[in-house]
Amino acid sequence: MSGAILVRGARQLLTLRGPSEPRRGFALNELGLIEDGAVLIRDGTIVSVGPSRRVENLSEARQAEEIDATGRVVMPGFVDSHTHLVCGPSRLTEYEMRLAGADEEEISRAGGGPLATIRAIRGTSTRRLELEARRKIRSLVRHGTTTVEVKSGYGLDETGELRILRAAGALDGDPLDVISTYLGLHLLPPEFAGRSQDYVEWVCSQMLPTIRKRGLARFADVACDPQAFSLEQVRRYLSRAAELGFALKLHAAEGPQDDLIRLAIELGAISADHLAGMTEQQVGMLAASGTIATLLPGAVFHQGSRRYPPARALIEAGAAVALATGFNPGVCPTYSMPMILALACARMRMTPAEAIAAATINGAHALGLAGMVGSIEPGKQADLIILEVGDYREITYHFGVNLVWMVLKRGLVLYRQGELEWIED
């Protein structure tokens, strides 16, 4: 994109400018707020940020195309650092069964659960998966997400996993930044029933090298279900992934969390995700580490649980906290980051400022992208959202309401809120 763009007159411009490390403790409340702020963009990159009066007087700003943000909040686009966006169809029958009181065993006997998604992925072409994901991307954009992580883990054989990762790769840069993660240990596939060690060795010797050689994923992740994989098998997988040059992530939703969190920290995982039901000791371990705690309150909400991650304890202990949707067809079918922020405040007692920082700059750190996205600073991509509110606290005060007025990705307008055509009889 060529030419200059001036976003001017923002009632509140949330820059999230600050140190290069993930935000911790009180720093999560520091939004770098500028009243009556402006952003000057050239060729998709931010070149100047500050009060409108100063930025508007720059020589380049005088010739720039203007976007009038008067009375509105301007902030970085959301960075959704944990999703299963390429995931096949919705699991609606299973959803109704769960509402009626069915447990996971009953759902599985009826042909539902994760195995239903595995069957669907294996029976769907890469092109079809890509097209379905593109429809979801459009919804992400409308809700203000400009960078998203996408995991595999629902194919579980070579064809299915590569199919997911190729579909995710085709989405990258068109228009969002899409970061791919290989979720090699998620479930034990049916063809390896009773042979978890054989499956782990196959993943380590075949899948990880193939994916690394083809450049299909930046991260390797593991879902630590103790009924499927032992701690030593998880260690074997993550250690092999690290040897091959993958950055590491870890689901810590199941099993003995002391050991999992300790393993994540020991191996230098960039994030540990989910983290419901943590103890004080576990909170302390994460707070003393460089591993980011990525919290997924949407999954807890959708499953009707009350075991939300202890965000308040994590923040007060000094842990780096990020927020993500955790979108997937089974436990969290939402891609609305504003809804996740509302849940974080209402159910995990985060402040609005903490939630915004966790969903932007700390989400960027959880993907290793904080040098490019997550804040509004010169030299970074011009990934901005403009909201139809005058105070950033309204973003989390409302829930189930989309307040996004405009979305820019690298300075290109991807979405502009439509006008309501009201016809009276």
For the stretch 163-172, pLDDT in tens is 999 999 999 9
Q: Is there a single domain that holds both residue 36 and residue 163?
A: no
Question: What does the pLDDT look like over 141-159, one tens digit per residue?
Answer: 999 999 999 999 999 999 9
Q: Is residue 83 part of a domain?
A: yes
* CATH number of the domain residue 274 falls in: 3.20.20.140
pLDDT at 303: 86
The tens digit of pLDDT for each residue in 260-269 reads 899 999 999 9
pLDDT at 2: 46
Structure confidence by residue, pLDDT tens digits, 269-315: 999 999 988 889 999 999 999 999 999 999 999 988 889 999 999 99
Are 43 and 99 found together in one domain? Answer: no
Residues 51 and 145 in one domain: no
256 and 332 part of one domain:
yes
**423 found inside a domain:** no
Residues 411 and 345 in one domain: no
The tens digit of pLDDT for each residue in 363-421 reads 999 999 999 999 999 999 999 999 999 999 999 999 999 999 999 999 999 999 876 56
**Does some domain include residue 425?**
no
Within this chain, do residues 247 and 384 fall inside the same structural domain, yes or no? no
Asked if 219 and 238 sit in the same domain, the reply is yes
Work out the pLDDT band at 61, boundaries 50, 70, 90: very high
Q: How many domains is the chain partitioned into structurally?
A: 2
Q: Find the CATH number of the domain harbouring 55.
A: 2.30.40.10
**Does 320 share its domain with 387?**
no
pLDDT digits (tens, 9 = 90+) for 63-99: 999 999 999 999 999 999 999 999 887 888 888 888 8
For residues 295 and 321, the answer to whether their CB atoms sit within 8 Å is: yes
254, pLDDT greater than 80: no
Tell me which residue range forms the domain holding 316.
79-365
Is the pLDDT reported for residue 115 higher than 90? no
pTM of the entire structure?
0.95
> pLDDT tens, 204-253?
999 999 999 999 999 999 987 777 899 999 999 999 999 999 999 999 87
> 270 and 403 in one domain?
no
Same domain assignment for residues 313 and 245: yes
Average pLDDT over residues 336-362: 98
